[in-house]
Structure 1
Amino acid sequence: MQLNISPRPWVKIPVEIAARELEAKLFLTHVLARKGWGVLIGQENLVRSAIATSVSGIQYDKSIAAGMKKYLMEAQSRGDYFTAHCEEGLVYLDPQTYIRRKICPANFMAADAFFFWGNQQYGDVTTALNIDYPHTITGNPRIDLLRKDMQNCYKDSSTWLKNKLGEFILINTKFGRYNPFIGREIFYQQAKGAWGIIKTPAEDEKFRASVKQQEFMYHKTLHLIDRLAKEFSSQKIVIKPHPAENWFPYVQRYANAANIHVAMHGASNQWLAAAQQVIHNSCTTGIEAFLLGKPVYSYEPYEDTSQDAELPALLSTRIKTEDELMESIVNAPPVNDREKRNKLAEEYMANLSEDMAAVRIANHFNTLIPPIKKVTFAVRHMLCLSEINTHHTENSHYWLEASYGTRQDYKMQKFPAFTTATVAGTLQRFSQVLESIEDMTVAEVEPNLFCVYSNI
């Protein structure tokens, strides 16, 4: 069917890893639509496709790394504004390595806007590049959804998960170098080649050390899971593997375990919000769990922490031994320095209070003055928010049971198939929390590519 949309400015939002960023970018979509923008959002390659590029406006992308030069130049050559966040700009091992890998100076200068997570990232980048360029400290919409005024977004999904699994302890893994989906040898060759992680003998040595560390932690974590399942047999132990990992070793190992569940679906926040307690090692989910007010433990059974990112550990209770962890889970000791940790978090995340990042970004988009266009799409399905019931399982919980295809299908692991109802249901949840009365239309342009706009 043909869909004719009245004149408005447009934003295009590519999404790489759904579990990491889709909900937050749908929240930005919601804010933009309420302000009169049209939004094209979906799997990153589809948003950069011929259909999407026929619409002029602003491209809001995931990175300004060297590999993004092609997309930046393509966007600006067709008259689009190119803007970006760095999705890996909150947690990194050290500023020098992060900036070499993720901040290309030429792209930084050429981008029409770059949005910083907070003062820490801004200081690291501008000091290293020795430039003071007028980019904006906004925070990231991923943090908007963890604020106290937005946490009701996860009330229904938390209830649904607890009804299905009962109380559970959540373990988030991060072993993408030792247990990568694509295999260790291919991952290593990619790290030496296209990804640019390894360019010198020193970086090769550092990479191999990180793989060795992950191998050690992988096996320590499996041993921990086995013990947790035995000592806390009356409750579930949920494993949430990192999106870059091969999930099937966990599935195979625990296929017959009565109280171990491998969560191969859903956004991280949905699981964190429902969890009773959270365990991680050098993972962003440690920060997210802290912001959600969960008891969160950084499991560090070693002395050398040179391979660990600092912030997730500093916002967690740091644990060295299994025995200590077992005792902490039973007693759930209070966090005595919460105020100190909050102040630290504010240095890294600018949107923990006052205006949300999505609002700040939308306001900045207004200053770019993109063209106002009438757009026509051939669409597959359409749904207005006013037509749905977000308590219906298909809308509220489809993502938590989504099919991830075969073990060879890495693209589907990063971005599973979504329906118009799933996207509309997510937007409707935001409307309810924000007490917004504006109706919106969600149209599926093609599988995993959606158009969203306000009906007012």
Structure 2
Amino acid sequence: MLCAIPIEIAMRELDGMLHLSLHLAARGLPTLLGERMVNRYVLSSGKPVIYFDSDQDVSVNEAVLAAGGEVVNLNPEGLNQWDRAEIVDNHLRILPCVSRICAWGEHQARLMRSRMPSDKAGLVTVTGYPSFDLANRRFLPYYRDESLVRLHGEDYILINTSFTCNHVMGFEHYIAMLGRMKEWRIYKDEQFITFKRRAAEYQRRLLEPFALLARHLATRFPGRHVIIRPHPVENMDFYRERTSDLPNVFVDRSGSVRNWIATAQAVIHHDCTTGLEALLMGKPLIQYRPIFDAELAAPIVSGLGEPAETQEAVADIIAGLQPGALVTPPGGLLAPYFANLERSAAWSIAEIASGYAADGRETWAPQPLGAWEAIKCWRKYVSKLIRARQPGRNGRKVRYALAKFPRLPVAEVQNRISRLAAIQPELPPVSVTRLALNTYLVRPAA
């Protein structure tokens, strides 16, 4: 059977899904992956696929099942959501139209099962999430970016922020947009929205301290670069306006956060999943908490790293680090949340897929778009580029959409796969075909 993997945010999902595609290829399965055209191919074909659902779209899942396919839910959203029952209940709307739900760890699986009818509990399987297979010291060479080293050295200090209150569209417009999306109807729930507004107000009290921390570190370590890397949804101008007079402070979110983590000497966060990634990759992690509210800070990740309450305490920790120092992740603390720590998530999920494919259903390969369809696809993309130049909120909204999945040449996909294969030579060679803009077919090499 053909496997189909839609990707919403390339920086968050692409590497892990390419890794999964290699494991699927090891079992003889081709993979269609990429942006919006994945669903177009799946829905227009009427043929069976193993569809990796990532946004709980009931209508798509129902169409896949009606065509004789299977739906494997593989949710990419952050770890932080899994301690809130409202989010889990929203997620579980897909129960009538899903073949399997892949949980990141035993903790998440228990929470989901507790919110499900007992006869549905068997749908949940603990696999881990493929992206976190790569958050490992073994893959540091994969993420090493020599262009970052040339610009910033290997002793830079990385500050990762994840403050939704600083959303590039404006917080209220952002939650209103989510409330209009059928898969996020929870954003119409007043109790949930009240909590999100309280959390946003808590975050607003952290914004200025984080900007001031960058200034303090730049002054304490004038020979080193301080990088502020905001979450993809954040307004970078907030940080730029407060640090533009300091030549060794850079506000930059280009590329994958793991590229930045791989060559940083230390990583600072408050309650960001990237702090977890840094810890798994062996980087010294500091949890800066000028204020702290355990109810409003993101659960689980807000307890990771060496805590520091003042700017000077952060600076002292950094001053005591040895060049190139690596740390050992606290496996006992993280194991309930990440099955990846015990086995490869990509391997586990590929095993599930191969079981579905073993019953002899058709394996088919989609073809590249014809000339007219390709022109329409590119015209839509160019239209977005033009509209992104608009001033005000409309332009920001389009730029936000474009940033989710920037144009990705097929050569870059091939390069990433080659670098993954160099670290895992036991995985099979594959061929990569571009079918449409940001849409690719990965299959075992002939």
- With the length of structure 2 as denominator, give the TM-score of the two structures: 0.85
Contact 2:127 2:349 (8 Å CA) reproduced: yes
Q: 1:303 to 1:245 in 2, by over 3 A?
A: closer
Give the Å deviation of 1:28.
0.6
Aligned twin of 1:174 = 162
Give the Å deviation of 1:127.
1.6
> Cα deviation per residue 1:217-242 (whole Å; 9 max; x = unaligned)?
11211111122222222111112211
The answer to whether structure 1 residue 367 and structure 2 residue 358 are counterparts is: no
Aligned-residue RMSD, C-alpha = 2.7
> Cα deviation per residue 1:97-126 (whole Å; 9 max; x = unaligned)?
33134332xx13531111110111011111
Aligned twin of 1:111 = 98
The answer to whether structure 1 residue 57 and structure 2 residue 55 are counterparts is: no
Q: 1:126 to 1:438 in 2, by over 3 A?
A: closer
The answer to whether structure 1 residue 413 and structure 2 residue 403 are counterparts is: yes
Contact 1:290 1:316 (8 Å CA) reproduced: yes
Give the Å deviation of 1:171.
1.0
- Secondary structure in structure 1 of the residue aligned to 2:185: coil
Q: 1:202 to 1:134 in 2, by over 3 A?
A: closer
- Secondary structure in structure 2 of the residue aligned to 1:435: coil
The answer to whether structure 1 residue 230 and structure 2 residue 219 are counterparts is: yes
- Secondary structure in structure 2 of the residue aligned to 1:445: strand
Counterpart amino acid of residue 239 in structure 1: I
Aligned equivalents of 1:426, 1:380: Cα separation in 2: 27
The answer to whether structure 1 residue 378 and structure 2 residue 368 are counterparts is: yes
Structure with the largest fraction of helix: 2
The answer to whether structure 1 residue 440 and structure 2 residue 433 are counterparts is: no
Give the Å deviation of 1:302.
1.5
Aligned equivalents of 2:208, 2:11: Cα separation in 1: 24
Aligned twin of 1:389 = none
Aligned equivalents of 2:92, 2:172: Cα separation in 1: 26
Aligned equivalents of 2:40, 2:246: Cα separation in 1: 44
User: How many residue pairs get matched?
Assistant: 413
Q: 1:352 to 1:93 in 2, by over 3 A?
A: closer
Aligned twin of 1:145 = 134
Aligned equivalents of 1:428, 1:441: Cα separation in 2: 11
Give the Å deviation of 1:455.
1.4
Aligned equivalents of 2:207, 2:417: Cα separation in 1: 37
Aligned twin of 1:317 = 306
The answer to whether structure 1 residue 165 and structure 2 residue 152 are counterparts is: yes
- Secondary structure in structure 2 of the residue aligned to 1:26: helix
Counterpart amino acid of residue 418 in structure 2: Q
> Cα deviation per residue 1:65-109 (whole Å; 9 max; x = unaligned)?
xxx2122112222332111122226223733233134332xx135
Which residues of 2 match residues 175-190 of structure 1 at below 5 A? 175-176=163-164, 178-190=165-177
Contact 1:298 1:312 (8 Å CA) reproduced: no
Contact 2:282 2:329 (8 Å CA) reproduced: no
- Secondary structure in structure 1 of the residue aligned to 2:286: strand
Structure 2 residue ranges without an equivalent (≥5): 372-387, 390-395
Contact 1:118 1:137 (8 Å CA) reproduced: yes
Contact 2:199 2:297 (8 Å CA) reproduced: no
Aligned twin of 1:125 = 112
Structure 1 residue ranges without an equivalent (≥5): 1-8, 382-404
Aligned equivalents of 1:14, 1:210: Cα separation in 2: 30
- Secondary structure in structure 2 of the residue aligned to 1:35: coil
The answer to whether structure 1 residue 46 and structure 2 residue 33 are counterparts is: no
